[in-house]
Amino acid sequence: MGALSADWVLLEDGWAPGLLIEHESGTITDIRPGRAAEHIEGAVLPGMTNLHSHAFQRSFAGRTEFAGGGGDFWSWREAMYRAAGTITPETAAPVAAYVAMLGLLGGFTSLVEFHYLQNAPDGRPYANRAAMADAIVEGARQAGVGLTLLFGVYQTGDFDGAPLRGGQIRFDTGPDAALRMLAEARAQEGPALRFGLSPHSLRAVPPDSLRALVAGAGAGAPIHMHLSEQVAEVAACQSARGAPPVAWLLDNAPVSPDWCLIHCTHASAAERAGIARSGAVVGLCPSTEGNLGDGIFGLPDFVAAGGVFGLGTDSHVSLDAFGELRLLEYSQRLRTQKRNVLAGADRHSGATLWQAACAGGARAAGRDVGALRVGARADLVVIGPRLESEAMGPDFWLDAAIFAQSSPVAHHVMAGGQWKVRDGRHLQQESITKAYREALKVLG
């Protein structure tokens, strides 16, 4: 059994002073007033879930920021295909560990891997069909992050059923294979590890395959899907299926709180209201959506309608939960020309954003995380007061951590009851970084 106490703790109903948190086997067993031998002079937040990851894409982050790197999403996608063509299970594990480590340093204690890079570079399945998935699981284990891994389905190159081509061939996986891998992987599940499914997108998964996948998943399985990220995608879906992607999905699939719809950047107001009614989480990835020029999701009306959202880092140009929330709020300020867009009249933006994204991320991960309460995983993030707001209390400390950053933001990070980051440094930072550097030499 372990125990710690803190000056301030962010509970589901707000800040509370002077609480003691006990945990055993990675789970919170008690929260009560008191002081432990290990006392945190600062504020304790629930750990954040990174609900959308393609770990391999970190390996080429920063390599397309020039004119020859392409001018839109579709040219960037070709660069992504080239990177995907080189990675193997041997290099995937250190890449995944590095991504998970950076996430922990940035306050992400859980990760959801949207995993569609499943075959060998020549497109053939590995003898162990789940070899690439196993590498992701191993990387997460090395870094110490909680993981939900989603087995991908990717069969067609566009809405018209065009065959896969070029770099897409490596992704070729149908619903039968994905469901078999899911069934076999479930024997590994526990508090720190969960599995689900990720039909890549409507252009990559035919309607019959989507129906088979959903029917085979079983109740409660996390299901994630990319939707309406690009204007051209919306137009192509409208032309091929008579409706834009979000509207088509809501009309043709049993979308529920088990679902997470990634991006939805160009969803209409009616589509956003439909998502809110379904209970599905919208997965927003501010740094990647900004990097790719996707656009800005209409968040205020979605939240006002009861919509749930969470944070992902997608291509991993950034892995900082505080920075993602800053980008999220600032993009909405630019869109609406207002400030403190999501906070109510009596709330601070920092706590509002952190708690909302934690709740949505936990739902998307399908794990008991994202809140400091008895029975939840002992995942927490420690921040300290900023000089400018030191005497003003934890709401101002969290606001400053998001909107007036200094480095490192997260002083300490615990995942599953074990400290993974102390004084802004991951406890395996040297070895994980070394292995990642060696992997990059192989990947080129």
Active site residues: 263, 314
Q: What is the DSSP secondary-structure string of 234-262?
A: HHHHHHHHSS-HHHHHHHHS---TTEEEE
Nearest 5°: the CA angle 432, 435, 441 is: 140
- Element (DSSP H or E) covering residue 7: strand 2-11
Task: Using DSSP bridges, classify how beta strands 146-153 and 193-199 pair: parallel, antiparallel or unpaired.
Answer: parallel
- Element (DSSP H or E) covering residue 304: helix 299-304
| Contact (CB, 8 A) for 226 and 52 | no
C-alpha closest to that of 375 among 61, 3, 31: 31
List of residues 6+ apart from 198 with CB closer than 8 A? 114, 115, 116, 150, 151, 152, 153, 223, 224, 225
The dihedrals phi and psi of 377, each to the nearest 5 degrees, come to -60, 145
The SS3 call for residue 134 is: helix
* CA–CA distance, 121 with 169 (Å, rounded to integer): 9
